[in-house]
């Protein structure tokens, strides 16, 4: 390979992966940043002769494997590697919906609706909706040439562009073999290619959606049979498993159901869908008007219930994040609203079921029956989920709500998922590799083993150190003079210290916060006092913020949540990473509270077995944003003095590189930074 650099850690990891695949065992493999772990697991996977599924934490890494790493290996080996990237249904262009969108866009005088935003006529007079027709033309040209139909191929149309909602579908709405475009469907082609591939590249969400589907409906699968699985970015598995083995419903989901019900089965404005004249046409018109009325009833009842529930969640304090959803939230007026919504869903389910069982129309392209069946499944699922949330029959689930902008999400998720990998996966696929830069806390894999049910008799372990020279490339700053995070005034002191540190590196700073409230307070104060441009999460989509940060030569990016991991900004663009406080999970988080109670029932100390190692891994992830290449150099700062004043601080220090120098003095940072270019 051109530019290949021999790394002993990479060889060690590759050998361990090869042994696990050969012996059909499970392996926990921590590989520090810079090890080159993708090559270390891809080579033995390709050489194993097995069909291997590689599952990644993000679609970005999945695309990197498919379009960069595998082609590099092919050139080195001098042969083709039969690899297929497989994604969820919503990532592919839907030929059925795209044809309808195109037909609507050229219908003279007709209105074309831009999903989730505004309405635009075919002459494009509504500027707020954007160039709807221009994007459709761009998509039409792409649809004629694309082999995969993967919307990720179009980097000029962002993932959050609302046009995708009009031309993609999802697993529930997909018609499958009943669709007239099934044989030419991009999803069909991708799955057929995957059925014969030696390497199937997926992401965690698709992998566990498939496992959950098979668990609920034995025999039903999305992925083809496989001999082994490799999980990259495996530190995120617990949260993904929790999501896919839980249930949820939102005000947005019910609104979408109502909209689709109206558009596919209903009629409005006195324009019923009549298939033909005569009695049959009149019956169809009455049915369409009834469906439209049902959709309106669903909207009204959902707005009433979610209005009550949102008020209850807001009273629980704070804004954003998960809040406990207690049974009493469904009492009083909310109970009547819930029963009304249940009745509306029941009526919608019955109507859709009847439409699905109706004789097919004379028009061979009429898809009403198939669309109605999909609507019936969605109505039934939302009804069952609401019943579970209202009744809360088991303590093995955590019940919660989230405020998401103007919408409200309700969910129920299993407190423990440690049995899933062991019982649902390893019992049938014993060869499994879990790798990440952050699997151990303080050098101990116990936390990951316990959370994922991978005891020592189930999985081996290996830890490969990063090849980076942290003794010279980075320095850790932990102040002793700031007040503790629980004290009044911490946010102001925190913002002041971030500004002071940013002056050393001339901006180029990523400030990571443990809550949205802290982010808002600090970013507002920085804008008031700092001379550097301040970018804040929530003000623009994630990809746009990162692009602006790379373009701005001296910006401070304030972020939380997803920015703690999966961000790769090598070189001078990022020279300072600041973490406001130790990332302990908020005590009011219902999932954390449920897991703490479960550990207490097992006679374990939740702080030492769950809260502390979880926070140490999160800190490790945040620190990992700083040094991405051998030539990188920068400052990491943790503004929480508990790191040096509390005994548990050693667990955090033991989770960071042992050779990493540290200081509590800003002046030493200045000298260190000034000397960074000296020989």
pLDDT tier at 72, thresholds 50, 70, 90: very high
Residue 191 lies in a domain: no
pLDDT tier at 227, thresholds 50, 70, 90: very high
322-324, strands of its sheet edge to edge: 247-250, 407-414, 397-404, 322-324
Let me know whether 351 and 438 are in one domain.
Answer: no
pLDDT on residue 404: 86
pLDDT on residue 86: 95
Residue 521 lies in a domain: yes
pLDDT on residue 277: 45
pLDDT tier at 273, thresholds 50, 70, 90: very low
pLDDT score of 129 more than 50: no
Let me know whether 435 and 475 are in one domain.
Answer: no
Least confident span in 154-158, 241-245, 416-420? 154-158
Let me know whether 71 and 117 are in one domain.
Answer: no
Whole-number average pLDDT of the chain: 88
pLDDT on residue 501: 97
pLDDT on residue 561: 82
Task: Please enumerate, as own/partner, the contacts of 416-419 that have beta carbons within 8 Å and a separation of 24 or more.
Answer: 416/595, 416/598, 417/238, 417/241, 417/242, 417/245, 417/451, 417/452, 417/453, 418/450, 418/451, 418/452, 418/453, 419/453
Question: Which residue in 676, 679, 582, 581 sits closest to 634, CA to CA?
Answer: 676
pLDDT on residue 678: 58
Residue 190 lies in a domain: no
- Furthest-apart CA atoms within the chain: distance in Å: 91
pLDDT on residue 574: 94
pLDDT score of 299 more than 80: yes
| Cβ-contact 626, 565 below 8 angstroms | no
pLDDT score of 282 more than 90: no
Least confident span in 73-77, 368-372, 674-678? 674-678
Question: In 10 A of CB 527, how many CB atoms?
Answer: 15
Let me know whether 76 and 120 are in one domain.
Answer: no
Work out how many domains the chain is built from and give that number: 4
Question: Which residue in 456, 439, 432, 433 sits closest to 32, CA to CA?
Answer: 439
Let me know whether 384 and 520 are in one domain.
Answer: no
What is the share, in percent, of the chain residues with pLDDT greater than 70? 91
pLDDT on residue 286: 82
pLDDT tier at 361, thresholds 50, 70, 90: low
pLDDT score of 157 more than 70: yes
Q: Between 121 and 602, where is the model more confident?
A: 602
Beta bridge partners of 176: none
pLDDT on residue 111: 38
| Average of per-residue pLDDT across 113-123 | 39
pLDDT on residue 362: 56
**Gyration radius of the chain's alpha carbons:** 27
pLDDT on residue 218: 79
Final residue of a structural domain among 367, 390, 410: 410
Let me know whether 216 and 288 are in one domain.
Answer: no
Report d(CA 60, CA 418) in Å as an integer: 27
Q: Say which residues have a Cβ less than 8 Å from residue 596's Cβ, sequence separation at least 6.
A: 606, 610, 611
Domain of 628, CATH number, reads: 3.40.50.300
Domain of 321, CATH number, reads: 1.10.275
What is residue 351's DSSP assignment?
H
Q: Between 219 and 639, where is the model more confident?
A: 639
Q: Between 303 and 552, where is the model more confident?
A: 303
Residue 394 lies in a domain: yes
pLDDT on residue 365: 58
Report d(CA 630, CA 571) in Å as an integer: 9
pLDDT score of 608 more than 90: yes
Q: Tell me which residue range forms the domain holding 58.
A: 8-82+197-243+417-464
Residue 361 lies in a domain: yes
Q: What is the pLDDT of residues 452-494, one digit of tens each?
A: 999 988 999 999 999 999 999 999 999 999 999 999 899 999 9
| Average of per-residue pLDDT across 655-676 | 94
- Element containing residue 169 per DSSP (H, E): none
Residue pointed to by tokens 């309700």: 410
pLDDT score of 272 more than 50: no
pLDDT score of 247 more than 60: yes
pLDDT tier at 288, thresholds 50, 70, 90: confident
Q: Three-state SS string across 277-334, please? A: CCHHHHHHHHHHHHHHHHHHHHHHHHHHHHHHHHHHHHHCCCCCCEEECCHHHHCCHH
pLDDT score of 676 more than 60: yes
Let me know whether 217 and 286 are in one domain.
Answer: no
pLDDT on residue 123: 36
pLDDT on residue 349: 96
Let me know whether 13 and 116 are in one domain.
Answer: no
Q: What is the pLDDT of residues 51-65, one digit of tens each?
A: 999 999 988 899 899
pLDDT on residue 127: 38
pLDDT on residue 318: 52
pLDDT on residue 467: 94
Query: What does DSSP say about strands 397-404 and 322-324: parallel, antiparallel, or unpaired?
Result: antiparallel
Let me know whether 126 and 212 are in one domain.
Answer: no
Question: In 10 A of CB 364, how many CB atoms?
Answer: 8
Residue 3 lies in a domain: no
pLDDT on residue 113: 46
pLDDT score of 239 more than 90: yes
Residue 679 lies in a domain: no
What is the share, in percent, of the chain residues with pLDDT greater than 90? 67
Let me know whether 585 and 454 are in one domain.
Answer: no
Least confident span in 199-208, 265-274, 562-571, 659-668? 265-274
Final residue of a structural domain among 161, 184, 207: 184
Let me know whether 253 and 350 are in one domain.
Answer: yes
Q: Between 81 and 571, where is the model more confident?
A: 81
Joined tokens for residue 284: 């169809």
Residue 1 lies in a domain: no
Q: Between 502 and 112, where is the model more confident?
A: 502
Least confident span in 270-274, 352-356, 636-640? 270-274
Final residue of a structural domain among 367, 391, 410: 410
pLDDT score of 283 more than 80: no
Let me know whether 640 and 573 are in one domain.
Answer: yes
| Average of per-residue pLDDT across 437-442 | 94
pLDDT on residue 351: 94
pLDDT score of 108 more than 50: no
pLDDT score of 202 more than 90: yes
pLDDT on residue 677: 61
pLDDT tier at 279, thresholds 50, 70, 90: low
pLDDT on residue 541: 82
pLDDT score of 269 more than 50: no
């Amino acid at each position: 390979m051109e530019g290949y650099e021999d790394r002993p850690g990479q060889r060690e990891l590759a050998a361990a992966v090869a042994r696990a695949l050969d012996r059909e065992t499970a392996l926990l493999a921590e590989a520090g940043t810079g090890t080159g772990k993708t090559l270390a697991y891809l080579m033995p996977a390709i050489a194993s002769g097995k069909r291997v599924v590689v599952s990644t934490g993000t679609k970005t890494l999945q695309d990197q494997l498919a379009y960069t790493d595998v082609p590099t290996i092919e050139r080195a080996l001098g042969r083709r590697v039969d690899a297929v990237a497989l994604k969820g249904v919503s990532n592919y262009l839907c030929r059925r919906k795209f044809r309808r969108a195109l037909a609507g866009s050229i219908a003279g005088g007709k209105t074309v609706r831009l999903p989730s935003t505004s309405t635009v006529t075919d002459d494009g007079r509504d500027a707020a909706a954007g160039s709807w027709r221009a994007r459709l033309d761009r998509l039409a040209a792409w649809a004629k040439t694309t082999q995969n139909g993967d919307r990720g191929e179009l980097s000029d149309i962002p993932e959050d562009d609302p046009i995708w909602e009009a031309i993609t579908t999802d697993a529930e709405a997909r018609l499958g073999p009943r669709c007239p475009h099934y044989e030419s469907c991009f999803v069909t082609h991708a799955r057929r290619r995957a059925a014969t591939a030696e390497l199937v590249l997926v992401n965690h969400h698709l992998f566990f959606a498939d496992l959950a589907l098979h668990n609920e409906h034995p025999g039903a699968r999305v992925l083809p049979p496989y001999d082994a699985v490799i999980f990259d970015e495996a530190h995120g598995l617990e949260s993904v498993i929790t999501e896919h083995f839980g249930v949820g419903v939102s005000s947005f989901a019910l609104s979408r159901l109502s909209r689709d019900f109206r558009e596919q089965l209903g009629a409005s404005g006195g324009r019923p869908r009549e298939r033909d004249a005569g009695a049959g046409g009149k019956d169809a018109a009455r049915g369409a008007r009834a469906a439209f009325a049902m959709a309106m009833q669903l909207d009204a009842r959902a707005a009433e219930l979610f209005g009550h529930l949102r008020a209850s969640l807001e009273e629980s304090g704070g804004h954003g994040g998960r809040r406990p959803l207690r049974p009493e939230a469904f009492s009083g007026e909310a109970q009547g609203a819930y029963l009304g919504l249940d009745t509306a869903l029941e009526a919608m389910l019955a109507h859709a079921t009847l439409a699905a069982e109706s004789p097919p129309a004379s028009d061979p392209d009429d898809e009403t029956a198939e669309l109605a069946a999909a609507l019936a499944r969605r109505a039934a699922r939302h009804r069952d989920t609401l019943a579970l949330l209202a009744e809360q029959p088991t303590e093995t689930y955590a019940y919660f709500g989230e405020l998401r902008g103007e919408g409200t999400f309700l969910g129920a998720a299993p407190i423990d998922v440690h049995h899933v990998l062991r019982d649902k996966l390893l019992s049938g696929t014993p060869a499994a590799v879990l790798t990440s830069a952050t699997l151990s806390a303080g050098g101990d894999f116990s936390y990951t083993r316990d959370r994922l049910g991978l005891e020592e008799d189930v999985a081996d372990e290996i830890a490969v150190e990063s090849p980076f020279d942290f003794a010279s490339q980075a320095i850790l700053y932990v102040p002793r003079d700031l007040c503790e995070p629980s004290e009044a005034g911490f946010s102001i002191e925190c913002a002041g210290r971030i500004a002071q540190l940013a002056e050393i590196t001339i901006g180029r700073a990523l400030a990571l916060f443990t809550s949205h409230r802290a982010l808002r307070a600090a970013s507002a104060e920085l804008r008031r006092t700092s001379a550097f441009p301040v970018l804040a999460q929530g003000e623009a989509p994630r990809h746009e913020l990162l692009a602006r940060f790379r373009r701005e030569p001296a910006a401070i990016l304030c972020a939380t949540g997803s920015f703690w991991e999966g961000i790769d900004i090598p070189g001078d663009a990022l020279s300072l990473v600041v973490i406001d406080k130790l990332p302990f999970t908020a005590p009011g988080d219902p999932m954390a509270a449920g897991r703490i109670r479960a550990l207490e029932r097992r006679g374990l100390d939740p702080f030492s077995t769950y809260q502390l190692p979880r926070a140490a891994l999160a800190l490790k992830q945040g620190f990992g944003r700083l040094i991405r290449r051998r030539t990188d150099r920068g400052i990491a700062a943790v503004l929480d003095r508990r790191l040096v004043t509390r005994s548990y601080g050693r667990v955090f220090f033991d989770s960071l590189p042992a050779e990493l120098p540290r200081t509590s003095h800003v002046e030493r940072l200045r000298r260190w930074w000034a000397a960074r270019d000296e020989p």
